[in-house]
Amino acid sequence: MRRIDHPLLSPSLGAARQLSSFHFGEAGRGEKVYIQAALHADELPGMLVAWQLKQHFAALEAAGRLNGEIVLVPMANPIGLDQTLLGYQLGRFEQGSGLNFNRHYPALADSVYAMVRTALGNDAAANVRLIRAELSRQLAELPVKNELASLRHTLHGLACDADVVLDLHCDARAALHLYTGTPLWPQCEPLARYLGAHATLLATESGDNPFDEACSQLWWQLAERAAADGLTVPIPPACLAVTVELRGQASVHPTLAERDADAIVAFLIHRGVIGGEVPPLPELLHPATPLAGSETLAAPHPGVVSFRVEPGATVTAGQPLVDIVDPLDDRVTTLASQYGGVVYAQENRHYATTGMELAKIATATAFKTGKLLSA
């Protein structure tokens, strides 16, 4: 195991933060896996999983069982981790700018395509190497203007040439679920099985460039541009990037963390990055569904909120799910899913302001367009 500390751009006199990455195995031999936790710094289940993974990877490396390279960033956001307001941690948005730490990563498909277009050939592996080299070069040359940009730049630089990227997050209160690119589902399905995902939400474009898409989307965008140019060159979806939502913010428990770390190790054995006997694949709990079919139940008026089902419940269209009670004007509203599906996340606060999003349901019906993720 090798530790590298990456200093971030200093935001202010006397202030300096750094990011630490831990490297296992051998770069350039076999696949590269990149795993980070707590990019949204108030989402801590992943940090505990990452620490468990660190012990696993160190032992596996010592046993000579790594067939590739693994890069682990157990704490991906030193800026957000250090933000508190009136006793509450604020880890989703940078306090100074209001920007979401998991949005606005650079989209480089056009500029990479312009540089590699004439060099692409019939060898898929050679195309992948060419594209990764150009992507890394362009990323390294991007200007970095402040501390947040420097954090994004460092994380993206560590991950951009990986075959597998796992970004460990959680929701407010949730069942384990995944977000990934639609073309990546066949590669992602074993991960969904090992982790016991209750939902996997697929999109080719979620909106606002979250980290996983910055790593994966470029590949199918390049394939589309080549096809539009009449080039018959193979460009595979060479980065399986997945946002792994490890239940809810309070789901920080050593037993859960051990189970999730074991599942990720099992997936990496299945993938061939770790040597050993492949653990049997569990049943897939639920088929993947379109992110455009994620139904959000929002409060039509303020009130006290109670939930009738737990996250992970499979519900039918019209089934009562959430009650909102206004104790002053005696308004009582019960919300139901229009389509039915799996309730994969809920709000963890029990007072709703008007319009507040209270529950999310993975449905099989793609009914939304435009930006598909919440802010």
In the complex with Zn ion, which residue's Cβ is closer, 40 or 56? 40
Q: How far is the CB of 245 from Zn ion (least distance, A)?
A: 7
Both structure tokens of 35: 């795993």
Between CA 340 and CA 297 the distance in angstroms is: 12
Q: How far is the CB of 95 from Zn ion (least distance, A)?
A: 16
**Residues in contact with Zn ion, total (CB under 5 A)?**
3
In the complex with Zn ion, which residue's Cβ is closer, 40 or 286? 40
Q: How far is the CB of 272 from Zn ion (least distance, A)?
A: 29
Q: How far is the CB of 43 from Zn ion (least distance, A)?
A: 5
Between CA 37 and CA 47 the distance in angstroms is: 5
Choosing from 32, 169, 173, 247, the residue that interacts with Zn ion (CB under 5 A) is 169
342 and 314 in contact (C-beta within 8 Å)? yes
In the complex with Zn ion, which residue's Cβ is closer, 32 or 169? 169
Instruction: Pick the stretch among 113-121, 149-157, 164-172, 337-345 that binds Zn ion (CB under 5 A).
Output: 164-172
Question: Which amino acid, 8?
Answer: L
In the complex with Zn ion, which residue's Cβ is closer, 113 or 179? 179
In the complex with Zn ion, which residue's Cβ is closer, 54 or 92? 92
Phi, psi of 217 (to 5 degrees): -65, -35
Instruction: Pick the stretch among 16-24, 115-123, 168-176, 207-215 that binds Zn ion (CB under 5 A).
Output: 168-176
Q: How far is the CB of 169 from Zn ion (least distance, A)?
A: 3
Query: Quick one: which of 238, 215, 221, 92 has its CA closest to 155?
Result: 215
> Which residues, in sequence order, are CB contacts of 347 under 8 Å at separation 6+?
172, 173, 305, 356, 357, 358, 359
Residue with tokens 């991950």: 159
Q: How far is the CB of 139 from Zn ion (least distance, A)?
A: 22
Q: Distance of CA 12 to CAs 17, 146, 369, Å?
A: 11, 10, 41
20 and 5 in contact (C-beta within 8 Å)? yes
101 and 37 in contact (C-beta within 8 Å)? no
Stated length of the chain: 375
DSSP 209-232: --HHHHHHHHHHHHHHHHHHTT--
Instruction: Pick the stretch among 169-177, 249-257, 277-285, 338-346 that binds Zn ion (CB under 5 A).
Output: 169-177
Choosing from 40, 156, 173, 193, the residue that interacts with Zn ion (CB under 5 A) is 40
Q: 179: which strand partners?
A: 201, 243
Query: Quick one: which of 296, 282, 278 has its CA closest to 335?
Result: 296
Instruction: Pick the stretch among 20-28, 36-44, 334-342, 344-352 that binds Zn ion (CB under 5 A).
Output: 36-44
Q: How far is the CB of 237 from Zn ion (least distance, A)?
A: 23
131 and 222 in contact (C-beta within 8 Å)? yes
Q: Draw the binding track, 116-155, toward Zn ion (x: CB under 5 A; -: no contact).
A: ----------------------------------------
In the complex with Zn ion, which residue's Cβ is closer, 44 or 223? 44
Between CA 36 and CA 208 the distance in angstroms is: 20
Instruction: Pick the stretch among 2-10, 61-69, 161-169, 246-254 that binds Zn ion (CB under 5 A).
Output: 161-169
Q: How far is the CB of 120 from Zn ion (least distance, A)?
A: 35
Compute the chain's Rg from CA coordinates: 21
Instruction: Pick the stretch among 42-50, 124-132, 268-276, 358-366 that binds Zn ion (CB under 5 A).
Output: 42-50
Q: How far is the CB of 164 from Zn ion (least distance, A)?
A: 19
Told to check if 177 binds Zn ion by CB under 5 A, we report no
| Interacting residues with Zn ion (CB under 5 A) | 40, 43, 169
